[in-house]
Amino acid sequence: MNRHYRQVLNVFRLFLVVIVYLAASHPAKALPSYARQTGQECAACHNGFPELTPYGRLFKLNGYVFGGGRSSWPPLAAMMVDSFTHTEAPQIGGAAPHFGDNNNAAFEFASVFYGGAIASNWGIGAFIQSTYNNVSQRYSWDNTDIRWAHASMIDDSELVYGVSLNNNPSVSDVWNTTPAWRFPFQSSGLAPGLPAQTLIEGGLAGQVLGLNPYFYWDRQFYGEIGVYRTLSMRMDTSLGVDPTGSSSVDGQAYYWRAAWEPQWDRNSLEIGTFGLQAAMIPGRVTGMGTDSYTDIGVDSQYQFLAERNSLSVSLAYIHELQSLGSSFAAGNASNPHDTLNSLTGKVSYFFDQTYGVIVSPFRISGSADAILYGGSSVANVPNTNGFITELDYIPFNHDSPTFWQGLNVKFGLQYVYWAQYNGGSANYDGNGANAKDNNTVYFFIWTAF
C-alpha cells in the first residue's frame, strides 16, 4: 500500500472512530442515522437488509425525511465488512494484488454515510455513501441519491412526487429487483464474478450524474425517468474513480422505470419494467463513432411480511441490444450487432427477522462473438449460469445490544455454484479451467453503527 493510500486509510479510520462515538452515545436500531431520525427498528424498513419493506419504500420516496426520533445528532453512519473466501480451485496469480491464490481472510471495505434529512421542511434528504475498498485499495464515492420530494392528496389518493440526483441508473429504485440493489447484497471481492453484464448492471455506476423526476400515486403506481451525463476524467479522479480505459456517454443516457404495486393485508406484489438507452464512446476516444446499448428489463417482486417472519420472491430479466459500430470498425468486436441477456431470481425466508435463508439462480446468455469473448471462452459466448445460497443471522434487527447502542451486525454464509462459465462446464477457456473451479464459499460479517 503506497503512502497516499495509507494516509487516506488513516483519515478514514479516524472518521470511523468519531462516528462510532456518536452512534454509541445515542440509541439507534436500523442504518443508525435513519433509525435515530425515525425512532424505528431495522425490521420496520428492511426485510433482512437491505431489501425494503413498504414502509422503507415510502421513507425513500418521501426524500428520507420522516421523523419521530429524538436524537439531535447529525445523520452520519458507518459500516464495514470482514470476510473469508474459499474457491474450489486456487486462482492463478492470486485472487487480487496483495492476496493469496485461495483461502483469503480480509477486511474487504468500509463505508461512511450521510443518511437522512437535509431540510425536512423542504422535503430534502439524502443517501450518500463513500467507500474505502481494501481489495482495490481505493477510496471513492459510492451510491449517492439526493432527493427533493413532496406529498399531496388528489381525489382522496396520495401522490408523492419528487426528483432524485444520483450517480448510478437504478440506485433511485425502491424495489430490490433492479441492478443497484438486487441480490446478492454482498459478494466476495476475492472470487470470480460474472464474466459479462449488461450496461445497466453497473456499467455506468459512479461515472455519471443524473436527474430523475418520479411519482408514486395511490401507493400503487410508480413512474420515473432519468437523464445521465458522464463526469469528466478529472472529476472521476477527484471522486476516487479510476477513469483509465473507461468509456463515456455520447451526450445523454436515458433511464426509465414503471411499476404497479397492489398491496393487501400483509402482502405486496410489484410488476414492472425498467431500462436504459445510451450511445457510448469506447475508451473515450472520439472520432471513431459510438456503440449503442438499449437495455429493456421486466421484473416482479412479492413480499409477505408477518409480525416477525417474512417471505420474499423476486425475478428480473434484462435484454440488451448492442449496436457496436465503433468497436466493430476498430476490430474490437466480430459483429456489428450483438445481444446479451440477464436473468436473476431470488427466494428468501426470514424467521423472526433474525434467521434467513436465500436461494438465487442466475443466468447470462448472449451472441457468439469471437473477439469480445474469444480470449476467455472456447465457445466464443458469455453463457454462464448457476445459483447462490445464503444463510443469514442478524441478531440485533429488532433492537441494539445493551453493550453498544447503535450497533447492528449481519453474519452471512454464502455458497456460489457455477454450472456453466463462459460457455462451458469443462475447459471453458481452452487452458483446462472448469466452471466448478470457481465455486465459492464466502463467510462475511457486516457491521453497521
Q: What is the pLDDT of residue 49?
A: 79
CA dihedral 98, 103, 107, 110 (to 10 degrees): 100
Q: Which domain holds residue 125?
A: 3-448
pLDDT mean by block of 10 residues, the chain; 449 residues? 43 39 36 67 79 94 87 84 98 94 97 92 96 95 97 94 98 98 97 97 96 98 98 94 92 98 97 98 93 98 94 98 97 97 98 95 98 94 98 83 71 98 96 97 94
The model's pTM: 0.90
Q: What is the pLDDT of residue 361?
A: 98
Q: What is the pLDDT of residue 69?
A: 73
What is the Cα–Cα distance from 49 to 42, expressed in whole angstroms? Answer: 8
| Residue 59 identity | F
Residue-wise burial string across 157-190, b where 16 or more C-beta atoms lie within 10 A, e elsewhere:
eebbbbbbbbbbbbbbbbbbbbbbbbbbbbbbbb
Q: What is the pLDDT of residue 6?
A: 46
Assign residue 108 the CATH number of its domain: 2.40.160
The two most distant CA atoms of the chain are separated, in Å, by 66
Q: What is the pLDDT of residue 405?
A: 59
| Number of domains, the chain | 1
Q: Which three cell numbers stand for residue 428?
A: 471453458
CA atoms in the 13 A half-sphere facing the CB of 5: 13
Omega of the bond leading into 184 within 30 degrees of 0 (cis): yes
Q: What is the pLDDT of residue 390?
A: 98
